[in-house]
Amino acid sequence: MAHLTINYKSSALNMPIMLDVLIPQGRGNYKVLYLLHGAGGDHSSWVLNTRIADYVNTTDIAVVMPSGNNRFYINNIHGKDYYTYAVKELITQCEQWFNISRDPKDRYIAGMSMGGYGAFYAALNNPSMYNTAFSYSGLLNILERYDNPQGIDMFPVFGSRDDLINNKLDLYSLIDAYAKENEKLKASDTQYNDTKFVITCGLQDPRIHMSCKFNNALSAAGINTSYYETDGGHNWEYWDRCIKNTIDYIYNAKGAEWRSLCR
């Protein structure tokens, strides 16, 4: 396995951006996980704070970890186009650089906290782009976080509260349209990739209600979702377990070892 740190100029952002990549050294056509960090982090967060390099070693999985610069992986109302970068440009760029699979069934996206929001925002806006989207302790009710920003200036990202709602930047506003488009595509294509959503959160996490309620909303809309709770807080000890389970899920094509306790 190779560990690369890349600094290149993003066309979408019109500035230099950094990413870390873990890539197998073998035959190619690898499965790929786009892994997003949380607020206050950067491209190195997962490598520095978890054992992801150990977990992915000897697998056929490439892991791409971009910097999100505290901008929630969306096209900012008063800023740069992080969604275009992370969801459009980055995939195209990585498929040019590396011998990774172009098949959506081999493409995954995951994130913790802010990155969980970014992963689900990407997947809900792009039916069939990913095999599975994972949220670990995700900020899945962004309206609640907007009203209680806790040190993050939300206005440059989301604009006013009305801007957030009108531009459908709240994940709940995306569910119905996604469900309708997903059913239409499944009915017209027998080979359609039905993206799975996996939500997990620690029982001691103060925002666990966001994860459970969002899972219920996805389930009520008929979207393929699974919800898991285990002991843990909003911290790297918990997210290290999450990423280990995720790598096992991708590599072994079986469910992760989380207990389902959604109430």
DSSP string computed for 27-38? S--BEEEEEE--
pLDDT tens digits along 75-131: 999 999 999 999 999 999 999 999 999 999 999 999 999 999 999 999 999 999 999
- Distance in angstroms (rounded) separating the CA atoms of residues 145 and 139: 7
Q: How many CA atoms, within 13 angstroms, populate the side-chain half-sphere of residue 129? A: 19
Share of the chain above pLDDT 90, in %: 87
The two beta strands, 2-10 and 225-230, are unpaired
Say whether pLDDT at 258 is over 50.
Answer: no
Report yes or no: 37 and 127 within 8 Å, Cβ to Cβ: no
Give the tokens for residue 68: 């999100």
Position 263 scores a pLDDT of 39
pLDDT tier, 260 (very low <50, low <70, confident <90, very high otherwise)? very low
Q: What pLDDT is recorded for position 189?
A: 85
pLDDT in tens, 196-208: 999 999 999 999 9
Give the length of the chain.
263
Q: Is 181 left (phi over 0), alpha (psi -120 to 50) or beta?
A: alpha
| Strand residue runs (E) in the chain | 2-10, 15-23, 31-36, 61-66, 107-112, 132-136, 196-202, 225-230
Amino acid (one-letter) located at 240:
D
Q: Which amino acid is at 177?
A: A
Rg (CA), the chain: 17
Tell me the pLDDT tens digit for each residue of 28-49: 899 999 999 999 999 999 999 9
What is the reported pLDDT for 151? Answer: 77
Dihedral (Cα; 139, 144, 148, 153), 10-degree rounding: 60
pLDDT band at 253 (very low <50, low <70, confident <90, very high): low
